[in-house]
Structure 1
Amino acid sequence: MNPTRAAVRAGVQRGLTELRNSFTNAQDLWGYVFPTLILLVTIFFMRGATVPGTGFSLGTRTLPSILGMGLAFGGLITLAQQLVVEREDGTLLRAKATPNGMLGYLVGKLTSISTVALVSMVIQLVPALFLVDGLRLTEASAWFTLLWVVVIGLVATLPIGAVIGSLIENPRNLGLVMLPMMGLIALSGIFYPINGYPGWVQAVAQVFPIYWLGLGMRSALLPDNLAAVELGGSWRHLETLGVLGAWAVLGLVLAPVVLRRMARRESGSRVAARRERAMQQAIM
């Protein structure tokens, strides 16, 4: 069998094994359920508010936005977290020691994290449907838009997540990524339309994929007349495709280079040094 094909096959099997372990682990399961509880509580308290200038429920508008945010968070942060942790515990070093091991490792992570992102989205969407109405789930066009937004959203964010994880050596430094991520979420119209924000804030929000994933999910699930409250008064599908596509190209170009550089630097002595520093910090 072709070595690359064998590595991809092994990576898929590795990803499926991680999924099986995750879905039978109580702590991981709580990690899937807890965001759903937060979402339901958020929508519940928003049920009486309306989107400015309309009679449409702000809670219903927020639901697809949060689903888009979840995809972005899973792609950008979850993969980065796992890369950092598994570099520290030596998992990446063991992968590097096998032929095409890094390729198999990355394929496994992409398999498991993308599947978890999709499952989490379903877990959040289904119970939320009992609290909101007005979603256009019976239209074929809605499901088609949902499909391409999810696919390109994952392709746009997962490679960037791999780059972030490759650049951070200490798991404790992940907070340096989380803080700006929370800021971007606040600026990206997830919980409230950004039309009233200053122009420079709108411009910053539109550079990053979180805004476009939220917009894309809203375009899939909300009625067409809600596009009037968005920037430009439309769903801007071409712009969504263009910006997310640009992030996908950037990530796919950078990720292999950064991952190879990171893998070359891994050694037993570096893993041991990181473990020693972690133990000293734990003692302190």
Structure 2
Amino acid sequence: MTAALTPAVTRPSPPSAAAIGLARVGLELRLFVRDPGQVVFSFAYPIVMLVIFASVMADEDRPAGVPFAQYFLAGIAATGIMLTSFQAVGTAIAEERDRGDLARLQTVGTPAVSYFLGKAGQVLVTTAVQLTALLTVAATVYDVPLPSEAGRWVTFAWVVLGGALAGTVLGIAVASVGSTRSVGNGIAAFAIVLQFFSGVFFVFSELPSWMQEVAAVFPLKWMVQGMRSVFLPDAAAVAEPAGTWEHGTTALVLAAWVIIGVVVCARTFRWRRTT
């Protein structure tokens, strides 16, 4: 008698790296909201800085005669993006590696690109919420006029996107240089210095030329300049070192840093501690 044939078992295909990355975006957001300290820092810091500086410097006028709150909004918006991406991501990944979380993800076969996509998605969502809160306070409390032209909002969108992606990949890259403490302290110190060099708190053209040259190497200076082109009148462009907003250069610098960050991540990212 011929034995009955056993039907073949069809195994489901494994999820794609993109599908895993999308799932990780949701997971990263849940982990984010479960950390009250991170939530408060991300959303409150830009608003607190705006309130402090706008109150202390209320009588100061800036280029084109705009109030200080309007001028400062560009810098603090860019700083918020940097802190939510570069600083938060770099510190978080160093912590996850030290705790062994990344080693467990590697064990279950999580692709590195999916992990990166999860971080980037979380940064973009939290940045959007952060900037919405900041702009709402600026407009309602300090009467900062928000752009009415669609072109300015398009500029705002690509500066936010480019800055957030650049900050995310650079945060992933620097997370591999040491322990949680060394990475966290190093990033925090670097971020503070870069804010002063990049014209966050002062008119950029009034800074010493050597500071301007150093700042021009890094993305924050270009993010701040891009934001000034959104929130300041066109007449304020004459106060820029080049006398224009330099949108093309801003886009190229941010894109270059995204590419550099991706290359560095691909070469240096590690799931486990080496010591």
TM-score bin (small chain): 0.7 to 0.9
Q: Give 3-state SS (helix, strand or coil) of 1:195's partner.
A: helix
- C-alpha deviation, 1:255, in angstroms: 1.1
- Matched-pair identity in %: 26
Which stretch of the first structure deviates more once superposed, 234-243 or 28-37?
A: 28-37
TM-score (norm. length: structure 1): 0.84
The answer to whether the 8 A contact 1:136-1:222 is kept is no
Q: Distance in 2 between matches of 1:127 and 1:258?
A: 40
Q: Aligned-pair distance for 1:21?
A: 4.6
- Alignment partner of 1:75: what SS? helix
Distance 1:17 1:198 in 2: 45
Aligned to 1:171, the other structure's residue is in SS state helix
Of the structure 1 ranges 77-86 and 17-26, higher mean CA displacement relative to structure 2 is found in 17-26
Question: Aligned residue for 2:150?
Answer: 140
Once residues 103 and 30 of structure 2 are traced to their aligned partners in structure 1, the CA distance between those partners, rounded to angstroms, is 23
Alignment correspondent of 2:137: 127
The answer for the alignment partner of 1:76 in structure 2 is 86
In the alignment, the residues of structure 2 paired with residue 31 and residue 73 of structure 1 have an alpha-carbon distance, to the nearest angstrom, of 9
Which secondary structure does the structure 1 equivalent of 2:205 belong to? coil
Rounded to whole Å, the distance in 2 between the matches of 1:189 and 1:48 is 19
The verdict on how the C-alpha distance between 1:33 and 1:158 changes in structure 2, with shifts beyond 3 A counting, is closer
Aligned pairs for 1:37-56 (under 5 A) are 37-51=48-62, 54-56=64-66
Q: How many residues align?
A: 263
Q: CA deviation at 1:170?
A: 3.4
Match of 1:231, SS?
coil
Report the AA paired with residue 235 of structure 1.
W
Match of 1:278 in 2: none
Q: CA separation in 2, counterparts of 1:45 and 1:70?
A: 20
1:184 aligns with 2:213: no
**Residue 68 of structure 2 corresponds to residue 93 of structure 1:** no
CA RMSD of aligned residues (A): 2.2
> How far, CA to CA, are the matches of 1:139 and 1:67 in structure 2?
19
Name 1:102's counterpart in structure 2: 112
Distance 1:71 1:209 in 2: 11
Aligned partner of 2:242 in structure 1 is 232
Does the Cα contact within 8 Å between 1:135 and 1:222 map onto a contact in 2? Answer: no
Aligned positions of 1:1-284 closer than 5 A: 6-23=16-33, 26-35=36-45, 36-51=47-62, 54-133=64-143, 135-259=145-269, 262-263=270-271, 266=272
Structure 2 spans left out of the alignment, 5+ residues: 1-11
Q: Kindly provide the CA deviation profile for residues 74-109 of structure 1, in whole angstroms up to 9, marking residues without a partner as x.
A: 221111011100001111000111223433322222
The equivalent residue for 2:8 is none
Whichever residue aligns with residue 60 of structure 2, its letter is: A
Q: Distance in 1 between matches of 2:118 and 2:144?
A: 38
Quickly say closer, same or farther: Cα 1:26–1:158, change in 2 above 3 A.
closer
* Contact residue 119 and residue 168 of structure 2 kept, 8 A: no
For structure 1, the 5+ residue unaligned runs are 274-284
* Residue 276 (structure 1) aligns with: none
In the TM superposition, residue 24 of structure 1 has moved relative to its aligned partner by 5.8
Task: Output the TM-score relative to the length of structure 2.
Answer: 0.87
CA spacing shift, 1:47–1:131, aligned 2, 3 Å: farther
Give per-residue Cα distances to partners, 1:127-150, cap 9 Å, x unaligned. 111233453421111111111111
Residues 32 and 106 of structure 1: CA distance in aligned 2, closer, same or farther (over 3 Å): same
SS at structure 2 position matched to 1:166 = coil
